Amino acid sequence: MRKIVTAGEILVEIMAAEIDQSFMTPGPLIGPFPSGAPAIFIDQAGRLGQPAAIISSVGADDFGRLNILRLQESGVDTSAIAIHEGAATGSAFVRYGRDGDRNFVFNIQNSACGLIRLDPAARALIATADHFHVTGSSLFSERVIDIVKSGIDAVKARGGTVSFDPNIRKEILDTPGMREALDFVLARADIFLPSGDELFLFAQALDEAGAAAEILARGVAAVVVKKGAAGAVCYEARGAVDAPAFPVEEVDPTGAGDCFSAGFVSFWLRGEGIERALRLANACGALAVTKKGPMAGTPTLVEVETFMESRA
């Protein structure tokens, strides 16, 4: 089994309990939930039985500990998660609007996440990686970008593969170094996993197939467009494969895209056919949204298989 390594933010997430709740006045909240896009991704990969590890950093507090314990329970190698005395574990407060939109108050850059470094534990981990996964939201500091570049170069040098989930909003594309880092990653990615419109941030064409073709022409082997409840499409040079989503009652969408990506990458690494990898990934995303909490619904391999049989 090939080992997936990723790098980036570990956070606790605190959720407003009610729709349209304000963060300007006290109200009911729920948390702390383990979170952070690359952490959710690697948690899902671990639960599917894939050898998996993350390079990250937390504070010496309960919020760091709960994340490390959760990842360990999921089988993730946490040897390269640094624990910093005097730093606070990163956090995200999220509230949901009536139309499903999400608003965040983040503490990432000046949290322990800002102390992520290419330290000896990170180097040791990269030396064992067969696949490197990049989440665009993690490219918030020069140091994470350094780790990502080192990880990609090391994995590529030994014939490994790279996946890239842009997971980014237009507004932060102008962060210094961000655009260049995204281009560096895309130029080396084997699998590209944009959600909806993110595809068009990296292409000139205004239609999905055209934009995917441009990305494929840049050397990416598989462009997987994630569409949530509308399923997913995988574009390869030989053609496109479409897979519908599994209809479920959505409780909490946060993390669904990361779980989908981890599912697709894990099964792709195992040599599953594209159609089956898409369906397994759709099942991961579907189960992820059925529970409150970014990692609360992340299914194990058995849970994914049981769910797919029940929907067969």
Footprint of its own copies on this chain (CB under 8 A)? 14, 17, 22-33, 61-63, 65-66, 69, 86-88, 91, 93, 105-107, 109-111, 114, 292-293, 296
Q: Shortest Cβ distance from residue 279 to its own copies (Å)? A: 30
Tell me the residue type at 205.
Answer: A
Q: Shortest Cβ distance from residue 24 to its own copies (Å)? A: 5
Q: Shortest Cβ distance from residue 312 to its own copies (Å)? A: 33
Residue 133 pairs with which residues in a beta bridge? 6, 163
For residue 34, with 0-12 CB atoms within 10 Å meaning exposed, 13-18 middle and 19 or more buried, which class applies?
buried
Q: Which is nearer to its own copies, 93 or 200 (CB)?
A: 93
Q: Which is nearer to its own copies, 13 or 208 (CB)?
A: 13
Q: Enumerate residues 6+ apart whose C-beta is below 8 A from 25.
A: none
- The answer to whether residues 153 and 29 touch, using CB atoms and an 8 Å cutoff, is no
Q: Shortest Cβ distance from residue 283 to its own copies (Å)? A: 24
Q: Which is nearer to its own copies, 88 or 225 (CB)?
A: 88
Q: Which is nearer to its own copies, 86 or 239 (CB)?
A: 86
**DSSP for residue 77:** B
d(Cα 187, Cα 190) in Å, to the nearest integer?
9
- The answer to whether residues 71 and 43 touch, using CB atoms and an 8 Å cutoff, is yes
Q: Which is nearer to its own copies, 49 or 253 (CB)?
A: 253
DSSP 66-109: HHHHHHHHTT-B-TTEEEETT-PPEEEEEEE-TTS-EEEEEE-T
Q: Which is nearer to its own copies, 68 or 243 (CB)?
A: 68
Q: Shortest Cβ distance from residue 214 to its own copies (Å)? A: 34
Q: Which is nearer to its own copies, 92 or 234 (CB)?
A: 92
d(Cα 94, Cα 99) in Å, to the nearest integer?
14
Q: Enumerate residues 6+ apart whose C-beta is below 8 A from 93.
A: 13, 14, 15, 16, 23, 29, 104, 105, 106
**DSSP for residue 260:** H
Q: Shortest Cβ distance from residue 294 to its own copies (Å)? A: 10
Supply 123's token pair. Answer: 């180097």
Nearest partner of 144 among 264, 14, 42, 10, judged by Cα: 10
Query: Residue 236: which H helix or E strand, with range?
Result: strand 232-236
Q: Shortest Cβ distance from residue 66 to its own copies (Å)? A: 5
